[in-house]
Structure formats: structure tokens, C-alpha cells
């Protein structure tokens, strides 16, 4: 078979979906190349699109079959059921890249997100996967959930395992706290952040800050390969972390840099 690939977003970085499709067809002995209307007839053409605002491919396609996919087409369902794309991507990082899935988290939100099938409950959430290269080096868990067993004062509640390498039991105790550890689902209502209205898909600043706080320490370096509106950079400034960001869209990049500059100048005022 002669297979063609079209990347709507024109990424200069690998497109995971197209990479997997290319590898599969090459293993079958098929011919795989980027689609070009001047390259003759194709048996099948795959079109991948990540962002909903990216303009779709509008030229004629000379192929027996054209398959579109990706979050940009909002294709999440097959016959009313989920495709499992998020889990496949997570398992790719685990099985192919050798990373650990340290935590599978949920961002619960109202007023946004894909509705899903009329045969299922309304889907107002997104997955948040936390990966680690071996054991996480930094874990700063947030304790902000009121404890149901707190009585108004610190209490020693039970012994826990301790001791030495000979197996002797230690006398370590746990103290009942006013606040307990947060769940791994976080409820945050989507909202436009100040200075970010130029971008169509902005995450809440609070969401970025709390992940950065949880998995890094002050003065650590945070990388955002899809900088977008610069929310991660602003979060790093507020949490006293260093930041590196990449962004292909020059308009977004320039406006994000302006947003970061304003945040840095405000910080100097205090």
C-alpha cells in the first residue's frame, strides 16, 4: 500500500500518532511518505490535527481512503464509546520511553470540556498524568483537605513502622493534623487568566502552580515544550522556579513573553 501522512498543525516536533502509524505500515512493507498532491495516487491518507483552531486541509486528496484523527477534530468516540487515546499515550511513555506512571490524576471542571456521547454521563474532566524517571526526586504533597477526625488539637494516633535493619520496631508516631492530604482529583473551573485572552486553550494558573509546587523545589528548572499563553512561565515566577519554554507560533510567543515581562516587573514592585 502507498500511505500518505498530513500533519495539519505543521509541527517541527514528532507527531506521536503519525509516528506510530508510519512505523506500523512500514513494518507491513507499505510505502509511507508525507502526502503531496503531485505524488500521484495513494491507497490511504492519514490526517492528524491537535488543535481545534488549526485550519483543516482544504485541497483535493487523491486517495482511496482518507482517515482523520486527533483532538483537533474532537473525535473521542467510536460507536458511542471512548477511544482510550489518553491511556495509549500514557502507556507509550511508560513502555516505549521507560518512564514510570507515578500518578494518574483528574482535573474536574464545570462549564467546559467535551460533552461526549448522549449515551454516557457528561464528561467535564481531563486526565493529568505524572511521569517520573525512576523514583520521584521531589514530592511536595498539598495538605489542604479538612481532616474529618481532627478534634482541635494535635493527637498522637498510632505507631508506625520504623526501627533498624534488624527488623526491630521503632517508636515513630503519626500526628493527626488539622488538614489531610489532597485527593488526586482537583476541581478547578476553567477561566481566562489576565493577559492570556489571545490564546484559545488556557489552563488555570492555579492548576499550573500546584503541579509545579508538588513536583519541584524552589530554584528548580521547569520545561514547557508547548508554551502557548505563558501560563507555566507565570506560575514558575510566582513559585520561584526557573523556566524554559518553546512555542512555534510567533504571535503566541511574543504575547506570552510580554505577559511574563509584566509578571516579572510586578514582582519587583514588592
Could you tell me which of 256, 244, 254, 247 has the C-alpha nearest to residue 196?
256
Residue 247: C-alpha distances to residues 10, 79, 129, 209, 230 (Å)? 13, 36, 22, 20, 9
**Average pLDDT estimate for 50-54:** 70
Give pLDDT, residue 170.
Answer: 45
Report CA dihedral (253, 254, 258, 261) to the nearest 10 degrees: 70
| Residues in Cβ contact with 37 at an 8 Å cutoff, skipping those fewer than 6 apart | 59, 60, 61, 62
Give pLDDT, residue 161.
Answer: 38
Lowest mean pLDDT among 135-144, 151-160, 178-187: 151-160
Q: What would the grid cell of residue 139 be?
A: 514530592
Backbone angles phi, psi at 163, to 5 degrees: 90, -150
Confidence class of residue 154 from pLDDT cuts 50, 70 and 90? Answer: low
**Average pLDDT estimate for 118-131:** 81
Give pLDDT, residue 199.
Answer: 74
DSSP secondary structure code for residue 238 in this structure: H
User: Alpha-carbon distance 10 to 12, whole Å?
Assistant: 7
Give pLDDT, residue 188.
Answer: 85
**Average pLDDT estimate for 169-183:** 63
pTM here is 0.65
N- to C-terminal Cα separation, the chain: 64
Q: Name the more confident of 257 and 59.
A: 257
Give pLDDT, residue 41.
Answer: 94
User: Alpha-carbon distance 42 to 36, whole Å?
Assistant: 10
Q: What is the pLDDT of residues 214-264, one digit of tens each?
A: 999 999 999 999 888 899 999 999 999 999 999 888 888 999 999 999 998
Q: Is 88 helix (H, G, I), strand (E, B) or coil?
A: helix
Q: What is the pLDDT of residues 182-215, one digit of tens each?
A: 899 999 877 777 777 777 678 889 999 999 999 9
User: Alpha-carbon distance 83 to 157, whole Å?
Assistant: 46
Give pLDDT, residue 164.
Answer: 39
Confidence class of residue 172 from pLDDT cuts 50, 70 and 90? Answer: very low
Indicate the length of the chain as a whole number: 270
Q: What would the grid cell of residue 157 be?
A: 494516633
In this model, does residue 139 exceed pLDDT 60? yes
Give pLDDT, residue 228.
Answer: 87
Backbone angles phi, psi at 112, to 5 degrees: -165, 180
Mean pLDDT of the chain, nearest integer: 80
Q: Name the more confident of 88 and 201.
A: 88
Q: Is 213 helix (H, G, I), strand (E, B) or coil?
A: helix
1 CA to centre of own chain: 35
Tabulate helix, strand, coil % of the chain (nearest 5): 25, 25, 50
Amino acid at each position: 500500500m502507498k500511505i500518505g501522512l498530513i500533519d495539519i498543525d505543521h509541527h517541527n516536533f514528532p507527531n506521536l500518532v503519525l509516528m506510530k502509524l508510519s512505523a506500523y505500515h512500514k513494518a507491513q512493507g507499505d510505502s509511507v511518505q508525507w502526502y503531496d498532491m503531485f505524488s500521484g495516487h495513494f491507497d490511504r491518507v492519514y490526517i492528524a490535527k491537535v488543535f481545534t483552531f488549526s485550519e483543516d486541509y482544504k485541497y483535493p486528496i487523491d486517495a482511496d481512503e482518507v482517515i482523520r484523527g486527533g483532538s483537533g477534530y474532537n473525535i473521542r468516540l467510536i460507536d458511542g464509546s471512548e477511544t482510550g487515546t489518553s491511556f495509549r499515550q500514557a502507556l507509550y511513555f511508560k513502555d516505549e520511553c521507560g518512564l514510570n506512571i507515578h500518578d494518574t490524576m483528574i482535573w474536574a471542571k464545570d462549564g467546559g470540556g467535551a460533552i461526549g456521547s448522549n449515551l454516557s454521563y457528561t464528561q467535564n474532566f481531563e486526565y493529568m498524568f505524572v511521569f517520573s524517571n525512576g523514583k520521584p526526586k521531589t514530592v511536595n504533597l498539598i495538605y489542604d483537605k479538612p481532616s474529618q477526625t481532627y478534634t482541635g488539637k494535635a493527637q498522637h494516633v498510632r505507631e508506625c513502622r520504623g526501627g533498624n535493619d534488624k527488623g526491630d520496631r521503632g517508636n515513630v508516631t503519626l500526628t493527626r493534623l488539622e488538614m489531610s492530604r489532597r485527593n488526586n482529583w482537583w476541581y478547578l473551573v476553567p477561566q481566562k487568566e489576565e493577559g492570556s485572552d489571545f490564546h484559545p486553550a488556557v489552563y488555570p494558573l492555579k492548576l499550573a502552580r500546584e503541579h509545579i509546587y508538588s513536583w519541584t523545589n524552589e530554584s528548580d528548572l521547569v520545561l514547557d515544550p508547548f508554551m502557548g499563553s505563558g501560563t507555566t512561565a507565570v506560575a514558575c515566577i510566582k513559585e520561584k522556579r526557573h523556566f524554559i519554554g518553546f512555542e512555534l507560533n510567533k504571535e503566541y510567543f511574543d504575547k506570552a513573553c510580554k505577559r511574563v515581562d509584566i509578571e516579572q516587573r510586578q514582582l519587583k514592585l514588592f
